[in-house]
Amino acid sequence: MGRDNSPKERQKQQLERKQAQRAGYDRILIVSEGSKTEPNYFEEIRRLYRLHTANVVVRPSELGTAPIQVVEYARKLFENGDPHKNIQPRAFERVYAVFDRDDHDSYFDALQLAESLDRKIKNDIKQDIDFKSIASVPSFELWLLLHFEDIQAPLDRRKVEKCLKKHIPDYFKGATNSFELTRQYLTIASSRAHQLASRFTAYDAPEPFTGIFDLVALLTTLRN
């Protein structure tokens, strides 16, 4: 009997190969508000640190860009998977929803929803997973700016981007080399972000805050 070569069977075979190729470190799903800026940044880290695509998956939200939609899509993608993207249901130990404070009405609801899911849902090997929000106040660009400036007071999105362009004149939304352009200052940016986190939380908007440093620290040390 000939081998079944239907699209459904090919997708199943691809999923099985991907599962067999996973590395020994945690499987991580990152869902972002932005469709280019954040995915490009995290994909750049994944490639540079040679993290397996079966272990680190980065996807933009397909439900919308509101924070609550980012968290809801992260939960949906974790629970249901997506065979068209070779993502199996519940195939992660950690899920991160990345979004900005900006002027979003659902921002605080998104923080609370993520908290309610943390360690409350199980993966495919019956482990409680980490489900975390990675928020930035006012925006992801604050994290990039911290590589160059020690920000201690609230700034709006436009001001952050204006300041960032002083250091990276060619910066634009969706840039593909943001990590490479800032990498040499990663240690000081992480220190500054950590200091902000010791003073403020994601709930203290408009005070400056970003949780990106935690996620970057995880990704850059996964293989250690």
Question: For the chain, how are helix, strand and coil distributed in percent, rounded to 5?
Answer: 45, 15, 40
Give the pLDDT confidence score for residue 24 in this predicted structure.
Answer: 77
Report the DSSP beta bridge partners of residue 10.
none
| Spatial CA neighbour of 73 closest among 114, 18, 104, 118 | 114
Give the pLDDT confidence score for residue 22 in this predicted structure.
Answer: 59
Residue written as token pair 């495919």: 124
| Spatial CA neighbour of 68 closest among 122, 31, 18 | 31
At 109-144, the pLDDT tens digits run 999 999 999 999 999 999 999 999 999 999 999 999
Q: Write out residues in the chain with pLDDT < 50, as ranges.
A: 1-2, 13, 15-20
Residue written as token pair 């992801």: 140
CA distances 85 to 41, 52, 78, 153, 167, Å, are: 19, 15, 12, 41, 36
Residue written as token pair 């069977």: 9
Give the pLDDT confidence score for residue 10 in this predicted structure.
Answer: 56
Give the pLDDT confidence score for residue 155 in this predicted structure.
Answer: 96
Taking a C-beta distance cutoff of 8 angstroms, is the pair 133, 110 a contact? yes
Give the pLDDT confidence score for residue 17 in this predicted structure.
Answer: 47
Cβ-count burial 174-213 (b if 16+ within 10 Å, e if not): ebeebbebbbeebeebbebbeebeeebebeebebbbbbbb
- In whole angstroms, give the CA distance from residue 30 to residue 218: 12
- In whole angstroms, give the CA distance from residue 161 to residue 146: 12
Residue ranges of domains in the chain, CATH in brackets:
25-219 (3.40.50)
Give the pLDDT confidence score for residue 92 in this predicted structure.
Answer: 97
Residue 134, token pair as written in the block: 């990675």
Q: Are strands 130-137 and 209-210 parallel, antiparallel or unpaired?
A: antiparallel
